[in-house]
Amino acid sequence: MSLKTSNRGQIDPFIVMDVMREANALDAVGENIVHLEVGQPSTAAPVRVREAAIEALQSDRLGYTDALGIAPLRDGLATHYRDFYGVDVDPARIVITTGSSGAFLLAFLSAFDVGDRVALAAPGYPAYRNILSALGVEPVVVETRLEDRFQPTPELLAQVEGDLDGLIVASPSNPTGTMLGDPEIAELTQYCRENGIRFISDEIYHGITYGHESVTALTHDPDAVIINSFSKYFSMTGWRLGWLIIPPEMTRSVECLAQNLFISPPTLSQHAALAAFDSHDELRDNISRYARNREILLRELPKAGFDRLAPADGAFYIYADVGHMTNDSAEFCRRMLTEAQVAATPGLDFDPYRGNTYIRFSFAGSEDDMTRAVERLRGWRKLTA
């Protein structure tokens, strides 16, 4: 007799990880792949962060911390919000998490029950809907439009059938890089308050912007749930450290969940991250590098036929409409990988309905990567067009 397995794992894969695995396998047999698939900074963690990690290794026993994180790091984040946004946040509302992934899990479990309905934009980060589905929460996909910068609007939300319990918004967005300004954030948070919808703001790409200011949802909704991470702006992906900002009524629930699911966030990463707040000069240099990479792709991709591009206001992505080239973005990306040695992510990862005609390029790598990628793509398109 075969044993039962849970249906919770019967969710869609995170396709970008599959693409990365295939690209790494080609690298391992001698292919020279240009990696534009994964949204991971190619820069190391700041120097002071690495130095702080070494010091902690030598001086601290690195045992468990409080489930909500060490007090100095929570205090440091409160200062960060005051300095960068002009918003006062009580450190008691800040929860240190095991990456933003841990933050999503804690936020969704504490805010929503099985059967609740949470809206999210398509195209959007696939882990939102996959985590919600695994938890028995219904993801309600809102198909956004280029004229709205692929962001949700009150008008689109009003067209959703049935009640909503939550809304997830990302600005800058993955995969499009588009952003919401202050008026748009104000309008969305007001709509959610008036309709009893929990507002969850994914702000993981804050700080990585090009001529636009990042707006935290706390500016307009003190009860918004904020999710962020040290992975992107602070260039600390593998350190697996993120944070939540939650309303007071959710604190004990989140703490109990964190105690049981994670015990505590990574201790070494917490001590090292204290130095991240003193590293902004180095981090701004990283943003300048992304800006140069962005300029290269925006200028050169149209020469290879990729001329239908979403506005890349922030993050390090360009979302390209390739409907004039293919109706199967997964196969298109497979061919691009094997024939042009350029790895990119099919839009189906981010939009299960229209992603067959979109792909995402990441420009988090080096300038040399960008130059080699567009040269290869121009040559490939000449052969295949």
Task: Residue 285: give its domain's CATH number.
Answer: 3.40.640.10
CA atoms within 13 A on the CB side of 173: 30
d(CA 236, CA 30): 28
* Residue that is last in its domain, among 219, 246, 278: 278
Residue 126 clears pLDDT 80, i.e. is over it: yes
Whether omega for the bond prior to residue 152 falls within 30 degrees of 0, making it cis, is no
What would the pLDDT profile of 68-102 be if each residue is shown by its tens digit?
A: 999 999 999 999 999 999 999 999 999 999 999 99
Distance of alpha carbon 160 from alpha carbon 162, whole angstroms:
6
How far apart (Å, rounded) are the C-alpha atoms in residues 367 and 296?
A: 8
Q: How confident is the model at residue 23 (pLDDT cuts 50, 70, 90)?
A: confident
For strands 345-346 and 358-362, give the pairing: antiparallel
**For range 103-122, the mean pLDDT:** 97
Do 232 and 370 belong together in one domain?
no
296 assigned to some structural domain: yes
Residues 166 and 303 in one domain: no
Has residue 2 been placed in a domain?
no
Structure tokens at 363: 């420009």
In a domain, 208, yes or no: yes
3-state secondary structure of 143: strand
Taking residues 120-139, report their average pLDDT.
95
| Number of separate domains in the chain | 2
Q: Please tell me the distance from the alpha carbon of residue 98 to that of residue 284, in angstroms, as a whole number.
A: 25
188 and 206 in a single domain? The answer is yes
Q: How far is CA 187 from the centre of its chain?
A: 23
3-state helix, strand, coil in the chain (%, to 5): 50, 15, 40
Interstrand relation of 225-229 and 242-245 (parallel, antiparallel or unpaired):
antiparallel
Q: Do 310 and 224 lie in a common domain? A: no
Span of 19-28, 63-72, 193-202, 259-268 with lowest mean pLDDT: 19-28
Per-residue pLDDT at 385: 67
Does residue 78 contact residue 89 with C-beta atoms inside 8 Å?
yes
Q: Which residue has the tokens 């991470």?
A: 229
- One domain for residues 310 and 328: yes
Residues 257 and 221 in one domain: yes
3-state secondary structure of 38: coil
Q: Within 10 A of 216 (CB to CB), how many other CB atoms are there?
A: 22
Q: Is the bond into 172 cis (omega within 30 degrees of 0)?
A: yes
User: Strand, helix or coil at 68?
Assistant: coil
Range of the domain at 88: 63-278
Q: Classify residue 48: in a domain, yes or no.
A: no
Q: What pLDDT score was predicted for residue 60? A: 82
- Are 99 and 176 in the same domain? yes
Q: 280 near 357, Cβ under 8 Å?
A: no
Answer whether residue 203 is part of any domain. Answer: yes
pLDDT (mean) for 230-244: 96
- Residue partners of 87: CB distance under 8 A and separation at least 6: 81, 216, 218, 219
Q: Does 3 reside within a domain?
A: no
Q: Does residue 363 contact residue 370 with C-beta atoms inside 8 Å?
A: yes
* Cβ atoms of residues 69 and 302 within 8 Å: no
Q: What is the pLDDT of residues 32-41, one digit of tens each?
A: 999 999 888 9
Residue 52 lies in a domain: no
Tokens 């948070």 belong to 189
Question: Do 85 and 220 lie in a common domain?
Answer: yes
Domain presence at residue 58: no
Beta bridge partners of 43: none
- Cβ contacts of 159 within 8 Å, gap of 6 or more: none
DSSP letters spanning 48-63:
HHHHHHHHHHHH----
Residues 195 and 70 in one domain: yes
Mark whether 121 and 241 lie in a shared domain. yes
In sequence order, what are the beta bridge partners of 343?
A: 35
Q: Do 74 and 25 share a structural domain?
A: no
